């Protein structure tokens, strides 16, 4: 897994927030259908491992659900809109997108029972696409933009983000067949 951090935004002090941006990428020997099933929540053991740093995860409301698309409002340590959609790239590769964006807790009444959010997620998500060069390999990118309260130390903010981004390794562990997991170490980065 490769991890990258963006530079800080100079306007963040004027808005009285601390913005952090990071992304992580990984390539795994797996089918897109297997990766999609995991990201859609089909495996309870994977869900527990992937969302281990979240206090509690509940679906508050389902806005749209079809075979190729699902839009829900979820609550864990923050309230967010979660959109999942199958996609086809311009070069005919298939992919899957999980987009996440925070919404104000006041939008839904159950938010008053919730834990205070530690941060807001904006324009973030996971994109999984069939590899262009290697058949049977899925390239996965996790883009994470978070806004933290200014009182949080930058090191704590980075730790929260790295912990969330490192959950990608669970996709490799659960999606790749046991006998082929050793191949993941040799995939190009």
167-178: per-residue pLDDT in tens?
A: 888 888 888 777
- Taking the C-alpha atoms of residue 17 and residue 118, their distance in angstroms, rounded to an integer, is 12
Q: What is the pLDDT of residue 32?
A: 93
Buried b (16+ CB within 10 A) or exposed e, 96-123: bbbbbebbebeeeeebeebeebebbbee
For 95, the token pair is 């992919």
Q: What is the pLDDT of residue 111?
A: 45
Provide the CATH number for the domain around residue 135.
3.30.530.20
- Low-confidence residues in the chain, pLDDT < 50: 55, 111-117
Per the structure, the complete domain to which residue 64 belongs is given by 2-186
Q: What is the pLDDT of residue 116?
A: 47
Structural domain tally of the chain?
Answer: 1
Per the confidence metrics, is the pTM higher than 0.85? Answer: no
- Taking the C-alpha atoms of residue 83 and residue 64, their distance in angstroms, rounded to an integer, is 9
Q: What is the pLDDT of residue 141?
A: 93
Cross-strand pairs, 62:
72
For 189, the token pair is 């980065």
Q: What is the pLDDT of residue 106?
A: 54
Burial class of 173 by CB neighbour count within 10 A (0 to 12, 13 to 18, 19+): middle
SS3 state of residue 16: coil
């Amino acid at each position: 897994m490769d991890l990258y951090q963006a530079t800080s935004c100079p306007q963040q002090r004027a808005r009285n927030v601390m913005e952090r941006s990071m992304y992580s990428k990984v390539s795994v020997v797996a089918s897109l259908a297997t990766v999609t099933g995991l990201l859609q929540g089909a495996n309870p053991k994977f869900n527990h491992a992937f969302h281990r740093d979240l206090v509690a995860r509940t679906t508050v409301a389902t806005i749209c659900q079809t075979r190729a698309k699902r839009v829900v409002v979820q609550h864990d340590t923050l309230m967010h809109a979660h959109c999942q959609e199958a996609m086809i790239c311009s070069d005919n590769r298939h992919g899957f997108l999980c987009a996440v964006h925070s919404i104000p807790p006041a939008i839904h009444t159950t938010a008053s029972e919730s834990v205070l959010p530690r941060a807001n997620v904006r324009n973030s998500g996971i994109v999984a696409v069939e590899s262009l060069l290697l058949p049977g390999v899925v390239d996965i990118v996790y883009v994470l933009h978070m806004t933290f309260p200014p009182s949080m130390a930058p090191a704590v903010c980075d730790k929260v983000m790295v912990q969330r981004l490192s959950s990608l390794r669970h996709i490799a562990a659960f999606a790749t067949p046991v006998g082929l997991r050793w191949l993941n170490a040799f995939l190009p980065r």
